[in-house]
Structure formats: structure tokens, C-alpha cells
């Protein structure tokens, strides 16, 4: 019985300290991925006022960047459909790549005809389509 109580106390200790453990793991991962100079700069930036201000906002801007290449239909039918159905209001969608203005997708029954990814993005006030600068426009 004493053994079980000791195990329960240990579990409670870890449960109470879980946020600190997550932060320690995050720091270790960052430390592994960056050289000394970048790691120290990253740690300094994480304590800056501008970095912490984001956590004080009720609904910070979330940017979703999608890079695409020859996947216009998937872009429209899956990615954009999913993102545009999100209930979070402060969401910015940025699509970079080809097939943005050429790919056509049947309308969703609204009678408006076909739509391109660019026109779908243009219809929202929180999106931007950026054509691949290396490829010439059609």
C-alpha cells in the first residue's frame, strides 16, 4: 500500500510540473536545432515585449501559408475549403505557387459557374494569392 501511495505522489508531482516539463523539452529541441548564436538570440526574443504581446491578445492573427505546385484541384477542394470553413475570425490565408489562377473548380451549387483559387481567395477579406515568381504567367 505504501508503494502505491508513493507512485501516486510521484504522478501528482509530474502532473503539477507538466508545463515546466513541456517548456524544458521545447528548449532542448530548440537547442538541438540551432547553433549557439541563434539559440541565444531566440531565447532573448522569446522574452521580449513584442513576442509576449501576442499572448495577451484575445484573438491574435493566425497566418496559414500554403505552398502549391501542380495541385490546383486539391488546393481548392481540400485546403481552401477547410480553411474557409474555420470559425476563427482572425485568420489570414496566403497561397504561394502555380495553378492559382488557371485551375477551375465547379461551383458549389450557387449558380456562379466555375471559380479559380485566386477568385475564391479574392472573395474573402483575409486572403492573398501570390503567384510563383519564377514561373511566367500563362
Extents of the domains making up the chain = 2-56, 62-131
pLDDT band at 31 (very low <50, low <70, confident <90, very high): confident
pTM, 2 dp: 0.51
Q: Which residue has the higher pLDDT, 78 or 118?
A: 78
- CA-closest candidate to residue 93, choices 137, 61, 133: 61
pLDDT tens-digit series, residues 38-95:
888 888 888 899 888 888 888 888 888 888 777 777 788 888 888 888 888 888 888 8
Residue 129's contacts (CB-CB under 8 Å, 6 or more residues apart) are 95, 100, 101, 117, 118, 121, 122
Structural contact between residues 117 and 80, judged by C-beta atoms closer than 8 angstroms: yes
The three-point CA angle 100-106-107 to 5° equals 100
CA distance linking residue 77 with residue 64, whole number of Å: 16
Residue 87 vs residue 27, higher pLDDT: 87
Amino acid at each position: 500500500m505504501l508503494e502505491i501511495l508513493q507512485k501516486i505522489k510521484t504522478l501528482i508531482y509530474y502532473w503539477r510540473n507538466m508545463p515546466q516539463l513541456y517548456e524544458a523539452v521545447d528548449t532542448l529541441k530548440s537547442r538541438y536545432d540551432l547553433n549557439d548564436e541563434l539559440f541565444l538570440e531566440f531565447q532573448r526574443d522569446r522574452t521580449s515585449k513584442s513576442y509576449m504581446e501576442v499572448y495577451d491578445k484575445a484573438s491574435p492573427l493566425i497566418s496559414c501559408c500554403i505552398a502549391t505546385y501542380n495541385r490546383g484541384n486539391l488546393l481548392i477542394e481540400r485546403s481552401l475549403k477547410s480553411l474557409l470553413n474555420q470559425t476563427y475570425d482572425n485568420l489570414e490565408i496566403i497561397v504561394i505557387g502555380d495553378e492559382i489562377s488557371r485551375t477551375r473548380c465547379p461551383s458549389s451549387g450557387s449558380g456562379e459557374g466555375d471559380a479559380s483559387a485566386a477568385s475564391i481567395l479574392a472573395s474573402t477579406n483575409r486572403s492573398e494569392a501570390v503567384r510563383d515568381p519564377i514561373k511566367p504567367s500563362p
